[in-house]
Amino acid sequence: MASPVVVTHPLAQIHLTAIRQTNTPSAQFRWHLQRLAEILFMEASRSLETAAVRVQTPLAETDGAAFARPIVLVPILRAGLGLQEAILPLVPDATVAHVGIARDEETALPMPYYAKLPSILAEADVFLLDPMLATGGSACAAAAQLKAAGASRITLVCVVSCPTGLEAFGTQHPDVPVVTAAVDERLNDKCYIVPGLGDAGDRCFGT
């Protein structure tokens, strides 16, 4: 099994607890999910390279920093949009790409249906966003699409993962770090993470 970076910061765990609860309304679920996404991205972006710049303060010139490479956020539609909405204000100059992958409810296999990717992937730091790493099928397929388009620096950011998904993703993409708030016990017979938090997309968007 791949060894993810598990974010155990108390604030992360408080927000995770809120979105796990079945009686958390959609608006509150979305708010806590976004706060958790901010914390996860802070960890996921920890090793981003920066370039030195000179800036003028009201009093003097001083040294500053700028990102060394473009940043691309890639939410997996649609649940990944909940993470993207929180992360984009932290990196407002980032490019946002989209990958659409549905899951066949009978086979649990990924079904890619949409991709809109920029031409800068080869030179960018890419963050793949998906709240749940369950079977790993969607994340594996999305990462493969990104690599085929030239991406080589990819980080997967997910809220909840499980051993099955981590094993599958780590086998297919051992070069892609995974940042998550939890590694849950298992999948049930419908390939939902247990204890998990249910369907992240449905709960985030109230459907």
Catalytic residue flag (residue 103): yes
Catalytic residue flag (residue 30): no
Catalytic position from the list 78, 95, 103, 164: 103
Catalytic position from the list 35, 78, 95, 199: 199
Angstrom CA distances, 18 to 33, 84, 192, stand at 9, 19, 19
Report strand pairing: 110-116 vs 98-103.
antiparallel
Catalytic residue flag (residue 135): no
Catalytic residue flag (residue 202): yes
Catalytic position from the list 46, 62, 104, 202: 202
**74/20 Cα distance (integer angstroms):** 24
Catalytic position from the list 17, 50, 107, 171: 107
- Give me the phi and psi of 57, to 5 degrees please: -85, 175
- Please compute, for residue 45, the number of CA atoms within 13 A of its CA located in the half-sphere on the CB side: 24
For the chain, what's the residue count? 207
Report, as residue numbers or ranges, the catalytic residues: 103, 107, 199, 202
